[in-house]
């Protein structure tokens, strides 16, 4: 309960008790006064009745008539006369219930008025005793009326008091709201500085302290950001040509060489400049560097059409031009154009093209290959190219032997989508340090028949080729939110969504509709993983996703992180719960680069998770680098509690 509510409740209770006490005292006092007043009036009345009865003498008719007249013209509960000799008695009594007063009030008030008695004498003769009960109905009515009025006054007073109290507390505690907002922002790892310093000393100290703390954390983040940018510049960029380097290519390749890669394959060109030593001797290092720059520009120009190309300088004389979705025919055409243009430039630098020349080995890869194979095959092609007359050699991998044809796969996948044959399975992400499961990464199986189950790695590639992967993900989201799957009850689960699906024009709206309708039913805590390639754009779409997830209490995670962004501010703004990178990425980072990344993630509370960890040796190496949460086959070797 908030401080405001606690204070409001406490003071409200005090006000209610005080007002209630005042009202109760007022009521009791009035009741006492009214009963006293009624008693005194009854005493006065009995005096008058006694006088009239004295005049009646011993005549019963006169006594009766006198009592009737008195009773009917006044307010009495009872008038009772009894003669001394017991020969005559007469009583007038009002036995009707009190009108306009509820029974519960009469029972609650319970007025007890003493009967007033008096002797009646006629001359020297004592003729009898008259006793009178005052009309308590008057008191009941008056007290009930007062009670109702008191209730109204009480209700109005309490309401007014509470409104005033609420306004006063709001004013007094206004700075605390600011402090609270700032504290909540700190919890969310947001860097909000409180501009309005409160006047109240205690609040002022707290705000200044928090501002100071936030400033320091922000400075930490900024420092980490700058350091990481600088490190990335050193680690991923070739300083001469400003092209990417070998390390970048190695870190980036897993995105293209994976089972669920959207691109089925492409061409990797490995270009090498021969005769560089001679060129250095002839025109000097500076001119050779200029030559490299110009050749790099040729590469850029020629492959510009393919947006996803990666041009990397592998070493002093070799360049890799990685072109997904490019076929060998186009690649050869590009290679020829590159050779032609570079030859012209070499001549312009007054170098002998027979001595200094470019060779290009082309390797047509597919998505199932490993990085090692891709690079070695490209090397082989280059070696061949160097001995070719044309200085170009194309090496092609054999066609992928598909177990089934595209149409057969299409049928199986469509059937699975329509008949709910896709099922969730999960792989553990393990906190090695604490021997605990950090979360469960959701994956899919396809139950084609009772005997045949296809795993994600088996059916996702054909699904990509058949253009059905988006339908699968759409179906996965519906399965996730609509089905009451208790298998993961109480767990933390992550679901990875690919770039292509997330950037489809209608994915966001569909997800919004699903989340708005079904999130509350989720029996587990959900983390939706988005690729760093998308998150690092920090686009309106990404912000929309973030807002949507926040609204529905879903966390955001990042996968395929290689820290290639030019700025890491997006991590602070989007605050994913973790970032996942390949174990090779974390292991290949320099100490400076990793500590800069740590500075950033620690300052905004982001966990680092290494994926694709296959053995305990890698686990140990990762732990030495302060990476303790892992995903991959090695998790099966770790006993968790």
Partner 1 sequence: MKIILSCFITILLYVNLHAQLIDQQIANAAEIKYNRFAKNRFLDINNSLLDKLRGASDIKKLNVVNTWVNQIRYKSDKKVYGVSDYWATLYEFVGKNKGDCEDYTITKYYILKELGIDPKRLKFTYVVYKNRRGKRISHMVLTYLKVARPTSKDDILILGNNNRLVLPASKRPDIIKVIKMINGDTGAKSKKWKRLEANMKRKKL
- In the complex, the residues that contact partner 1 under the rule CB under 8 A are 52, 59-62, 64-66, 68-76, 91-96, 135, 137
Residues 6+ apart with CB under 8 A from 565: 532, 536
Residues 6+ apart with CB under 8 A from 50: 118, 119, 120, 130
- In Å, how far are 618, 630, 637 from 435, measured between CA atoms? 16, 11, 11
Which of 136, 378 has the CB closer to partner 1?
136
> From CA 84, how far away is CA 76, in angstroms rounded?
23
> From CA 613, how far away is CA 568, in angstroms rounded?
25
In the complex, minimum distance from the CB of residue 64 to partner 1, in angstroms, rounded to a whole number: 4
Within 13 Å, how many C-alpha atoms sit on residue 632's CB side?
21
Which of 68, 301 has the CB closer to partner 1?
68
Which of 70, 302 has the CB closer to partner 1?
70
In the complex, minimum distance from the CB of residue 138 to partner 1, in angstroms, rounded to a whole number: 8
Which of 116, 312 has the CB closer to partner 1?
116
In the complex, minimum distance from the CB of residue 17 to partner 1, in angstroms, rounded to a whole number: 39
In the complex, minimum distance from the CB of residue 84 to partner 1, in angstroms, rounded to a whole number: 20
Which of 47, 159 has the CB closer to partner 1?
47
- For helices 456-465 and 406-418, angle between their N-to-C axes, nearest 10 degrees: 110
Which of 135, 235 has the CB closer to partner 1?
135
261: DSSP letter = -
558: DSSP letter = E
Which of 60, 605 has the CB closer to partner 1?
60
CB 393 within 8 A of CB 381: yes
447: part of which helix (H) or strand (E)?
strand 436-447
Quote the radius of gyration of the chain (alpha carbons, Å). 46
Which of 81, 319 has the CB closer to partner 1?
81
Max CA separation in the chain (angstroms): 164
- List the beta bridge partners of residue 128: 83, 120
In the complex, minimum distance from the CB of residue 74 to partner 1, in angstroms, rounded to a whole number: 6
In the complex, minimum distance from the CB of residue 132 to partner 1, in angstroms, rounded to a whole number: 14
> From CA 638, how far away is CA 641, in angstroms rounded?
10
In the complex, minimum distance from the CB of residue 46 to partner 1, in angstroms, rounded to a whole number: 17
In the complex, minimum distance from the CB of residue 62 to partner 1, in angstroms, rounded to a whole number: 5
Q: How would you classify residue 88: left for phi > 0, otherwise alpha for psi between -120 and 50, otherwise beta?
A: beta
> From CA 80, how far away is CA 129, in angstroms rounded?
8
Identify the three-state secondary structure at position 311: strand
Q: Which two tokens stand for residue 607?
A: 């966990």
In the complex, minimum distance from the CB of residue 122 to partner 1, in angstroms, rounded to a whole number: 15
In the complex, minimum distance from the CB of residue 110 to partner 1, in angstroms, rounded to a whole number: 21
Which of 59, 211 has the CB closer to partner 1?
59
Which of 134, 498 has the CB closer to partner 1?
134
Identify the three-state secondary structure at position 498: coil
- In Å, how far are 16, 137, 176, 210 from 4, measured between CA atoms? 18, 47, 9, 20
Which of 96, 451 has the CB closer to partner 1?
96
In the complex, minimum distance from the CB of residue 148 to partner 1, in angstroms, rounded to a whole number: 20
Q: Which two tokens stand for residue 538?
A: 């920090």
Identify the three-state secondary structure at position 322: strand
Could you tell me which of 132, 131, 127, 130 has the C-alpha nearest to residue 87? Answer: 127
Q: How would you classify residue 327: left for phi > 0, otherwise alpha for psi between -120 and 50, otherwise beta?
A: beta
- Using the CB atoms, write b or e for 336-356: b if 16+ within 10 Å: eebbebbbebbeeeebeeeeb
In the complex, minimum distance from the CB of residue 147 to partner 1, in angstroms, rounded to a whole number: 21
In the complex, minimum distance from the CB of residue 90 to partner 1, in angstroms, rounded to a whole number: 9
Q: Which two tokens stand for residue 280?
A: 């250095």
In the complex, minimum distance from the CB of residue 140 to partner 1, in angstroms, rounded to a whole number: 13
In the complex, minimum distance from the CB of residue 101 to partner 1, in angstroms, rounded to a whole number: 14
Within 13 Å, how many C-alpha atoms sit on residue 470's CB side?
13
Which of 64, 537 has the CB closer to partner 1?
64
- In Å, how far are 182, 183, 217, 218, 247 from 212, measured between CA atoms? 12, 13, 9, 10, 39
Which of 136, 429 has the CB closer to partner 1?
136
Which of 41, 280 has the CB closer to partner 1?
41
Residues 6+ apart with CB under 8 A from 429: 437, 438, 439, 440, 441, 494, 609, 629, 630, 631, 635
Which of 92, 426 has the CB closer to partner 1?
92
In the complex, minimum distance from the CB of residue 97 to partner 1, in angstroms, rounded to a whole number: 12
Q: How far is the first Cα of the chain from the last one, in angstroms, to the nearest whole number?
A: 34
Which of 73, 110 has the CB closer to partner 1?
73
**No. of helices (H) and no. of strands (E), the chain:** 21, 19
Residues 6+ apart with CB under 8 A from 493: 426, 439, 440, 441, 442, 524, 525, 526, 527
């Amino acid at each position: 309960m908030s401080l405001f509510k606690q204070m409001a409740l406490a003071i409200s209770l005090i006000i209610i008790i005080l007002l209630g006490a005042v009202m109760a005292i007022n009521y009791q006092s009035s009741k006492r006064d009214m009963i006293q007043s009624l008693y005194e009036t009854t005493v006065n009345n009995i005096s008058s009745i006694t006088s009239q009865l004295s005049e009646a003498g011993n005549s019963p008719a006169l006594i009766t008539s006198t009592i009737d007249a008195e009773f009917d013209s006044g307010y009495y509960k009872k008038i009772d006369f009894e003669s001394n000799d017991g020969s005559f008695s007469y009583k007038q009594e009002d036995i009707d219930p009190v009108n306009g007063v509820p029974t519960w009030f009469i029972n609650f008030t319970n007025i007890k008025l003493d009967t007033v008695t008096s002797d009646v004498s006629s001359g020297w003769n004592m003729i009898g005793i008259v006793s009178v009960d005052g009309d308590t109905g008057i008191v009941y009515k008056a007290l009930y009326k007062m009670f109702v009025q008191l209730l109204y006054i009480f209700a109005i007073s309490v309401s007014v008091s509470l409104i005033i109290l609420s306004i006063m507390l709001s004013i007094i505690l206004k700075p605390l709201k600011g402090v609270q907002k700032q504290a909540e922002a700190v919890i969310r790892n947001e860097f909000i500085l409180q501009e309005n310093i409160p006047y109240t000393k205690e609040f002022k100290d707290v705000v200044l302290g928090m501002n100071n703390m936030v400033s320091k954390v922000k400075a930490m983040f900024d420092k980490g950001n700058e350091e990481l940018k600088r490190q990335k510049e050193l680690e991923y960029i070739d300083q001469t040509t400003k092209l990417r380097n070998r390390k970048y290519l190695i870190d980036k390749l897993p995105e293209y060489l994976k089972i669920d890669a959207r691109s089925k394959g492409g061409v990797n060109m490995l270009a090498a400049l021969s005769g560089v030593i001679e060129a250095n001797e002839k025109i000097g290092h500076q001119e050779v560097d200029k030559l490299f720059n110009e050749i790099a520009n040729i590469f850029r120009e020629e492959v510009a059409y393919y947006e996803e190309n990666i041009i990397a300088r592998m070493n002093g004389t070799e360049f890799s031009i990685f072109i997904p979705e490019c076929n060998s025919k186009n690649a050869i055409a590009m290679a020829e154009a590159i050779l032609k243009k570079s030859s012209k430039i070499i001549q312009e630098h007054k170098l002998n093209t027979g001595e200094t020349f470019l060779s290009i080995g082309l390797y047509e890869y597919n998505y199932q290959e490993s990085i090692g194979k891709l690079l070695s095959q490209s090397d082989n092609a280059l070696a061949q190219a160097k001995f070719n007359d044309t200085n170009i050699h194309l090496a092609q991998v054999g066609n992928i032997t598909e177990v089934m044809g595209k149409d057969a796969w299409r049928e199986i996948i469509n059937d699975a989508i329509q008949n709910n044959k896709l099922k969730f399975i999960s792989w553990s992400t393990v906190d090695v340090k604490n021997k605990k499961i950090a979360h469960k990464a959701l994956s899919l199986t396809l139950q084609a028949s009772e005997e045949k189950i296809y795993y994600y790695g088996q059916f996702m590639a054909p699904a990509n080729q058949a253009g059905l992967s988006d339908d699968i993900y759409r179906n996965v989201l519906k399965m996730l939110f609509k089905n009451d799957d208790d298998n993961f009850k109480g767990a933390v689960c992550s679901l990875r969504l690919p770039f292509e699906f997330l950037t489809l024009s209608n994915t966001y709206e569909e997800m919004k509709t699903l989340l708005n309708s079904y999130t509350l039913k989720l029996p587990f805590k959900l983390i939706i993983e988005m690729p760093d390639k998308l998150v690092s754009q920090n686009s309106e779409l990404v912000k929309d996703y973030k807002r949507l997830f926040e609204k529905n209490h879903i966390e955001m995670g990042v996968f395929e992180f290689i820290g290639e962004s030019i700025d890491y501010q997006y991590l602070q703004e989007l605050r994913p719960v973790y970032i996942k990178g390949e174990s090779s990425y974390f292991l290949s980072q320099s100490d400076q680069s990793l500590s800069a990344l740590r500075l950033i993630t620690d300052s905004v509370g982001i966990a680092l998770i290494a994926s694709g960890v296959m053995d305990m040796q890698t686990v140990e190496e990762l732990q030495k680098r302060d990476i303790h949460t892992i995903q991959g086959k090695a998790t099966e070797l770790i006993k968790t509690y």
